[in-house]
Amino acid sequence: MPAVLVQETGEPGSWNTLTLGHVPMPEPKGGEVLVQVEAFSVNRADLLQRRGLYPPPPGAPSILGLDLAGYVVRRGSPDVPWSEGDRVFGIVAGGGYGRYAVVCADHLLPVPENLSFVEAAAAAEVFVVAYTTIFEEGRAEPGEVLLVHGGGSGVGTSAIQLAKARGLRVATTCGSDWKVEKCRALGADLVVPYKHKDFAGAVLSWTEGRGVDVIVDFIGAPYVEKHLKILASKGRLVLIGLMGGHQASCSLAPVLTKRIRIIGSVLRSRSDAEKAAILRQFRAQVLPLLEKGTVRPVVDRIFAVADVEAAHLYVRNSQHFGKVVVRWKE
């Protein structure tokens, strides 16, 4: 089958090259289905993996890709609750950049009738991450205040919408001035262009000194001290990435005095059973919002699979707002 492959061209950490090649067709086992992939999205984890900095979990395909949307073409066992031709979207630990992918049946959802395959691929991973981070890990409740960094990212655009739909007040940051109004249009109450404005000071001013209840952060070390300062009593800091580094030096006193919880959350390396439980909750809590159009995937650009290298460069340069999706057919 065709698949996007990584061709190593330099030292570890170099960008290598993406090529369109052929690999053996995967075969579904019990509890799995074979999906013909119509579209997949580009995630920053893909950019790390192509550089050798984020290897797939043991047993996962080495092919890039954390999400997909397409048709069921074969079941691995009769008890699988899908039929040939079903339109599905979902998450994978790897393999989304292949024309076909084997997926745990419990990690798939039906594509809502109001969504295309492109839109479903744009929703799959980021809406699951946003939901899990804010509500399962962060335990956010209506009326609380959320700060999510990277409001223009896939997770950010999803988090803003999900939080507003659940009755939260939302603050976010973005790196480009042109993204400010777009974040507001999605429902963000406060948008801070962090490159020329201190987000911590802006958040404290906006909350009249109270601070925020939940923070979703993928930066890590450089923001820890500020986060401990702006979290309210019993606040939760949920780390979903460490793009800024993993070693931090700061006072831990606020963790004790404000009873702060610091939580790490990674979706990819969870067990199949954990992911299945998350998808069950997602199906009950979020899928109806997608079906009604209450929340929607934000698609910035669509690339043909032959232009996947350009899609990666587009994400690498942070030129996007929302998701970049790659489609197998025009």
**Mean pLDDT of successive 10-residue stretches along the chain, which has 330 residues:** 92 90 96 98 96 93 97 96 97 98 98 98 97 97 97 97 98 94 97 93 97 94 92 97 85 93 94 97 98 98 97 94 93
The pLDDT, as a whole number, for residue 221 is 84
The Cα 90–Cα 67 span in angstroms is 6
Q: What is the Rg, in whole angstroms, of the alpha carbon atoms belonging to the chain? A: 20
The pLDDT, as a whole number, for residue 330 is 59
The Cα 54–Cα 176 span in angstroms is 27
For residue 78, what are the contacts with CB-CB under 8 A and spacing of at least 6?
Answer: none
The pLDDT, as a whole number, for residue 247 is 85
The Cα 159–Cα 213 span in angstroms is 15
Structure tokens at 134: 């804010």
279-285 LR contacts (CB < 8 Å, sep 24+): 279/90, 279/91, 279/106, 279/107, 279/108, 279/109, 279/128, 280/106, 281/131, 281/136, 282/109, 282/127, 282/128, 282/131, 282/132, 283/109, 285/131, 285/135
The pLDDT, as a whole number, for residue 112 is 98
The pLDDT, as a whole number, for residue 219 is 84
Q: Report the 10 Å Cβ neighbour count for 302.
A: 18
The Cα 233–Cα 273 span in angstroms is 33
Calculate the dihedral angle through the C-alpha atoms of 290, 295, 301, 303, rounding to the nearest 10 degrees.
-20
Cα–Cα–Cα angle for 242, 197, 224, nearest 5°?
Answer: 30
The Cα 309–Cα 182 span in angstroms is 26
CA nearest neighbour of 232 among 209, 245, 213, 249: 213
